[in-house]
Structure 1
Amino acid sequence: MRPIAIGVSDFRNIIANNCFYVDKTKFIEELVNDMTAVHLITRPRRFGKTLNLSMLKYFYDIEGNTENRKLFDGLYISNFLAMSEQGKYPVIFLSFKDVKADSSLEMMENIAILMKNLYDKFEYIREKLNQSNLMEFDEIWLKKDNANLRGALLNLCSYLKEYYNQDVILLIDEYDTPMVSAYEHGYYDEIKMFFTTLYGSALKENPALKKAVLTGIMRISKENIFSGLNNVKVNSILEDDFAEYFGITEKEVEKSLIEYGLEERLPEVQKWYNGYIFGGVRVYNPFSITNFLDRKKIMPYWVNTSSNTLINKVLKEASSSIFEELSKLFQRETINKTIDVYSNFNELKNTEQIWYLLTNAGYLTPVEEIDFGKYSIRIPNEEVHYFFERDFIRNFLGSVDNFDRTLSYLLEGDFDNFTYELENIMLNSVSCFDFNSNSKESHYHVFILGMLLGLRRRYYIHSNREGGRGRYDLVVEPMDKRKNGLVIEFKVAKEKEELEKASEEALAQIEEKRYYEGLRDRGIKRIILVGISFYQRDFKLQGKIIKGVVAI
């Protein structure tokens, strides 16, 4: 068995040490045969973007080309004509992964350091630069105040072409990280023009450029970052090109499980890490797969590797209607949404932009295109469900521990303690559930449904389904038939004084419509009925416990 290098994205390191590697070198062949000058590839984090760019660096780089050629022995690309392109070009490989900052001033300082370190790798070309170019080079290299950072990539391409008499391969990893950081900290407009010039000058009509590949999570075309660039081919999760090279396919997973003696675990692996569909190709999360092969334990790996700051910021600022849609996704349903592939930071509160962000970030996946630009989408797998159950609920509703205690009271029929705990939660819930006189029944419905998500491994959660003689709001069905079942009906009162009456009407509706019949038919012997009414952050609850059709 090959050793597994967790968190290593350097192609040479992995190959030279004979570590576990899924051969993606066919990506090189397709890239060589594609005459497009600039490729922008967007995928969720930890889906192989950095490793693939590292692979391209060692393939194309004229420096160390003889030794680098050996890295591809026995891999797909070694048997094909595209190998003739190996080791022919100077390569600039730049990662913006760590370029994050609280302010625009700090951001520009970080960029100056990044460019200084990049130029440091090419210090040897200074001897062939003319006086003017040498001065510009040294201003970047020595971090002078007057350094032309906007032209740093364009100029370096020019210097390298002059030195090698060959066009340049430009590889930029996580191109969007600085802009996401700027948006999160409120200074995006201050640095947008810098990146427009930096990328625009290097990618548009650059006479020294052979080919450029940029990777990131978001496509920011509407923001004018690539203003005027008509030579960029964008490959997102919705396009077919390169689909199988970012992520691990079903056949690759099966082969990997056999290598590590884990083939019988395939059903678990499918449930937890499969489910992504990129350009019609079904792929597994590669980070989670490699961690599973290493630890041989099913658990959430990928969702625990990021703070999800942008996701949390956008959802906290979103309208409450998005949570009604999320409630359907939590119940493993698909929803149909228009996915606007051009990300605009100033429009992220717009619902369509939010669906694009969640999809491109890997928290949702397209299932199929049902109309031009409109897709059915869903949560891809159990690992991402875990994120929504725990991290999402913690961020938007409050303490998970409080919910566990509160729900245990409810499921035991302890209405007094449940009321006390829910009052505390309602008073302390976060701003995205800013209950007011305009709050609809569905608003409270989603709030309670979110609390119930943590029960999903022990209970079936049914929401807005046909049952009895009508359509109920919530039914909680225990997997263990010895446990209590639960039926909840919601009402919203127009005035605080009407809470008592509205809660009584809610309970009466459950009994009149016999919403509990499905639970009884499926063998649940003890059923808790709850009618609950809300007015802003106040509520009233009426509860009853039935056994069969006889009240206790």
Structure 2
Amino acid sequence: MARTVSIGTQDFEKMIQRNCFYVDKTGFIKEWWESEDEVTLITRPRRFGKTLNMSMLNCFFSNKYADRGELFEKLEIWKDGKYREIQGTYPVIFLSFANIKQNSYKGTIIKIKKIICDEFQKYAFLKDWDGLTEVEKKHIRELDYDMSDESAQEAINDLSNYLSRYYGKKVIILLDEYDTPMQEAYVNGYWEELVAFTRSLFNSTFKTNPYLERAIMTGITRVSKESIFSDLNNLKVITVTSGEYSKCFGFTEKEVFDALDEQGLSDEKEKVKLWYDGFTFGKSKDIYNPWSIINFLDEKNYKTYWADSSSNGLINSLVKTGSSYIKMMMETLLKGETIGVPIDEQIVFSQLDYSEDAVWSLMLASGYLKVISSDKLTGDRTKSVMYKLALTNFEIKLMFEDMILRWFSPAKNETNEFIKALICGDIESMNAYMNKVALKTISYFDTGNVPSDEEPERFFHGFVLGLMVDQSENYIITSNRESGFGRYDIMLEPKDKQTQKYPGIVIEFKVINPRKENSLEETVEAALKQIEEKNYDAELINRGVNKENIHHYGFAFKSKEVLIDGQ
């Protein structure tokens, strides 16, 4: 009989007691325990079972679950007698930063202090225990939500001390979603303040804590060691490219196909694989994201479950406001092709505004990209590895296509009219419509008070992505490729070479250069001249497009003013 599929349950005890659909991941317990690593950081994309696995560890090790072996007796870990003896024998401190999503430093620190204080309240009996000194008892009584930053930073170390003395055993510390506050701090502009606080908190909790047996942290990203882990030389880091625990988070293909069989959906395996397969951890390929699979088992419909479970705000912002290079790379990915970029898995959030490599690193860690192959770089960039990356699966492709369409929603009608004018060669309409679009959309993309000279180029490469979505049935669209004696900016190759309805199109962009040109008219003339002199038509002609059916367009820019001409 098929088990009930429970959506959103992250409590291991509830999952087992209710006999809900559950994929056995208790092998994680054994692999972690036998690693002998003191402090382990495991990064995985969101909705990949991190919280459920941490709840499982808590139920297995915590002495609050002593004599609760029935939770595990049907699972893999219970086959090993050694682990039956360990179950329920350790004091465990279990914290989660998953809900710390404040837009200010003050609000974030208040939430962290509340979480720490609430954890102390679970052990309120300690304040009356004779094994503590009067000073220590007074310390527990005085801890509250208004505690000083210094008290908060030392609190988990203090609690470890008290619990280890009370139970006669060192503590296990579990911290889930450690980096959620970090991402919010970056987005909302209080990164440096939070780093300083967190560095001291983590140093006291995980480094200078003599009462610690083992610890695990989970998160989406590996925040750079220099930021918050500078003092933690006892930290074992497991990222999406590491070999350890590669099958402990997410579902393997066998686990997914077994689940489809159980739920009477055996005929859906091929389509489920297209939509939701593609994640790679270490050398383990064909990993599926659990959130989409569980929701598909429940609803039996194909939807972008994982992509829709978050606003994807940070990724959206980084791509939307990124350079033309980032937009061109996204164009390549959306075509189903791969990109080659250097990746340093230590995410430095302060670099995201100017480092394109950091953007790809974040997208890989977050699950939007998958590794096809990798090669170690040499020389000055010894920390980085050159990766060949692709979009993870069809669900992610749909997510990005929808994201790009939303970028253009402020000027959607104008954009549609511009495309018609572009194909028909209506220069007057192109100028009228595009100046409206440029005025609205380039302002929308600005990230600072002073518009960048590169904004027009950024916009139009983003615009190419919009064209891809709307015109992919009629055109093969490429940009910044070699043709003739140079590199064109944008080329639209009609799929039907025999019809006059869809001409070949070559576009060249130029920002006015005051040292060479006195007006936009001179700039647009230079753009058209470059198309002719560099023989950009060569590629279209070689592909079967008639020379007479190729349109040339020059786009000239000065701030938010656009002038278009053609021939």
Report the TM-score when normalising by structure 2: 0.85
Give the match for residue 18 of structure 2: 17
For residues 344-359 of structure 1, the aligned pairs below 5 Å read: 344-348=348-352, 349-359=354-364
Preserved CA contact (<8 Å) 1:324 1:446: yes
| Larger displacement relative to structure 2 (140-149 or 226-235) | 140-149
* Aligned equivalent of 1:375, options 387, 393, 405: 387
Give the match for residue 281 of structure 1: 284
User: How far did 1:393 drift?
Assistant: 4.7
Helix, strand or coil at the partner of 1:5? coil
User: How far did 1:360 drift?
Assistant: 0.7
Preserved CA contact (<8 Å) 1:175 1:214: yes
Give the match for residue 333 of structure 1: 337
Distance 2:506 2:367 in 1: 34
Distance 2:542 2:321 in 1: 40
Change (3 A) 1:328 1:419: same
User: How far did 1:480 drift?
Assistant: 13
What is the one-letter code of the residue matched to 1:172? L
What is the one-letter code of the residue matched to 1:26? G
Preserved CA contact (<8 Å) 1:467 1:518: no
Preserved CA contact (<8 Å) 2:418 2:433: no
Helix, strand or coil at the partner of 1:207? coil
Distance 1:135 1:482 in 2: 86
Preserved CA contact (<8 Å) 1:507 1:542: no
Preserved CA contact (<8 Å) 1:250 1:284: yes
Preserved CA contact (<8 Å) 2:178 2:218: yes
| Larger displacement relative to structure 2 (434-443 or 364-373) | 434-443
| Structure 2: 5+ residue stretches without partners | 378-384
* Aligned equivalent of 1:249, options 246, 249, 252: 252
Give the match for residue 297 of structure 1: 301
Change (3 A) 1:260 1:410: farther
Helix, strand or coil at the partner of 1:538? strand
Q: CA deviation digits over 1:2-27, x for unaligned, max 9?
A: 11111111111111111111111111
Preserved CA contact (<8 Å) 1:340 1:353: yes
Give the match for residue 416 of structure 2: 405
Distance 1:340 1:266 in 2: 35
User: How far did 1:62 drift?
Assistant: 0.8
Preserved CA contact (<8 Å) 1:436 1:535: no
Distance 1:212 1:514 in 2: 59
Give the match for residue 194 of structure 1: 197
User: How far did 1:65 drift?
Assistant: 2.1
Change (3 A) 1:469 1:126: same
Give the match for residue 453 of structure 1: 468
Distance 1:403 1:30 in 2: 57
What is the one-letter code of the residue matched to 1:388? F
Q: CA deviation digits over 1:195-241, x for unaligned, max 9?
A: 11111111114221111000011112333412221111000001110
Give the match for residue 547 of structure 1: none
What is the one-letter code of the residue matched to 1:196? R
Preserved CA contact (<8 Å) 1:32 1:82: no
Preserved CA contact (<8 Å) 1:324 1:442: no
| Larger displacement relative to structure 2 (252-261 or 313-322) | 313-322
User: How far did 1:502 drift?
Assistant: 5.3
Distance 2:535 2:393 in 1: 34
* Aligned equivalent of 1:161, options 164, 167, 175: 164
For residues 37-436 of structure 1, the aligned pairs below 5 Å read: 37-67=38-68, 69-80=69-80, 81-128=82-129, 129-141=132-144, 143-144=146-147, 148-282=151-285, 283-315=287-319, 318-348=322-352, 349-372=354-377, 373-395=385-407, 397-399=408-410, 401-402=412-413, 405-406=416-417, 409-410=420-421, 413=424, 415=426, 417=429, 419-430=431-442, 432=445
Helix, strand or coil at the partner of 1:429? helix
User: How far did 1:340 drift?
Assistant: 1.1
What is the one-letter code of the residue matched to 1:89? Y
| Structure 1: 5+ residue stretches without partners | 544-552
| Larger displacement relative to structure 2 (34-43 or 193-202) | 193-202
| Larger displacement relative to structure 2 (472-481 or 238-247) | 472-481
Helix, strand or coil at the partner of 1:533? strand
Distance 1:478 1:45 in 2: 39
| Larger displacement relative to structure 2 (482-491 or 162-171) | 482-491
Distance 1:351 1:437 in 2: 17
Q: CA deviation digits over 1:141-173, x for unaligned, max 9?
A: 464458710111111111111121111110001
Give the match for residue 540 of structure 2: 515
* Aligned equivalent of 1:533, options 546, 555, 558: 555
Distance 2:487 2:231 in 1: 54
Change (3 A) 1:461 1:136: farther
Helix, strand or coil at the partner of 1:59? helix
What is the one-letter code of the residue matched to 1:34? S
Over the residues paired in the alignment, what is the CA RMSD in angstroms?
Answer: 3.3
| Larger displacement relative to structure 2 (278-287 or 123-132) | 123-132
Distance 2:288 2:140 in 1: 44
Q: Number of aligned pairs?
A: 537
Distance 2:496 2:30 in 1: 51
Change (3 A) 1:138 1:476: farther
Change (3 A) 1:45 1:482: farther
| Larger displacement relative to structure 2 (438-447 or 267-276) | 438-447
Distance 2:496 2:66 in 1: 61
Change (3 A) 1:539 1:117: same
Change (3 A) 1:146 1:249: closer
Distance 2:530 2:193 in 1: 53
| Larger displacement relative to structure 2 (8-17 or 321-330) | 321-330
